[in-house]
Structure 1
Amino acid sequence: MNKYAIIDTGGKQLRVEPGRFYDIHRFALTDPNILRPNTKISMYRVLLICEGSKIDLGHPWLSNAIVRGRVLHPCFDKKRIMQKIHSKKKTRKKLGYRQDFIRFVVDSISSNRNESIG
């Protein structure tokens, strides 16, 4: 039986399944020391829950639907490099950064229709 949910996190939509891990952008409003490994997190912005052929669709989100998980560890994205080149002045500027991510694993998906899907 295929169970999954679509959540909204960091302005992006992400399809999640119980027992799998995902990389999401670090939360802007939280202190980085709060999100240590094995910290429990809950996501309330659930757009869709699918269990087999049953689909619950929210407008915009499902009420009383929660995706619960825990933080595995913080990680980084690949290094992104930006270059500014002014050809006539013969100047070059090279900048780079790495985006902060949090790797988390989904433990359960629950909704108001049935208590525990995952």
Structure 2
Amino acid sequence: MYAVIKTGGKQYKVAAGEKIKVEQIAADVGQEIVIDQVLAVGDGAALTVGTPLVSGASVKATVVAHGRHDKVRIFKMRRRKHYQKHGGHRQHYTELEISAVNG
């Protein structure tokens, strides 16, 4: 059984036992959270699609860790104008372990 969830403005296809990295969630390490924004639930050939959410469906997950992704380098330049600008960004993430998909 799998589900398509929405968190942090993105969509993820998850199944029980998987680990995913999502946008940072305000939860402690080891805490169990319930994600109720489920867009679709699939079980074999059967697929239930919500309008926009599947009513009664939820996904239980445990917070494994918090961290930061690798740095993204930003370099802006205008040729022949002596303009160069350097920057960077590191996005925070929360690693979740999916424990159950309730459809």
TM-score by structure 1 length?
Answer: 0.80
| 2:67 alignment counterpart | 75
Structure with more contact order per residue of length (Cα contacts < 8 Å, sep ≥ 6): 2
Distance 1:97 1:50 in 2: 36
Q: Could you tell me which amino acid in structure 1 is paired with residue 6 of structure 2?
A: D
Distance 1:53 1:84 in 2: 49
Q: Matches of residues 1-118 of structure 1 in structure 2 within 5 Å?
A: 3-27=1-25, 30=26, 35-111=27-103
Give percent identity, aligned residues only: 26
Stretches (4+) displaced over 3 A? none
Deviation by residue 1:29-48 (Cα, 9 ceiling, x = unmatched): x4xxxx22111111111011
Q: Unaligned 5+ residue runs, structure 1?
A: 112-118
Distance 2:14 2:68 in 1: 20
Q: Could you tell me which amino acid in structure 2 is paired with residue 49 of structure 1?
A: V
Q: Cα distance, 1:76 vs. partner?
A: 1.9
Deviation by residue 1:41-90 (Cα, 9 ceiling, x = unmatched): 11111011111222221110011111011100012222101112233331
Q: Cα distance, 1:91 vs. partner?
A: 3.0
Q: Which has the higher strand share?
A: 2
Count residues with an aligned counterpart.
103
Give the root-mean-square deviation of aligned CA atoms.
Answer: 1.4
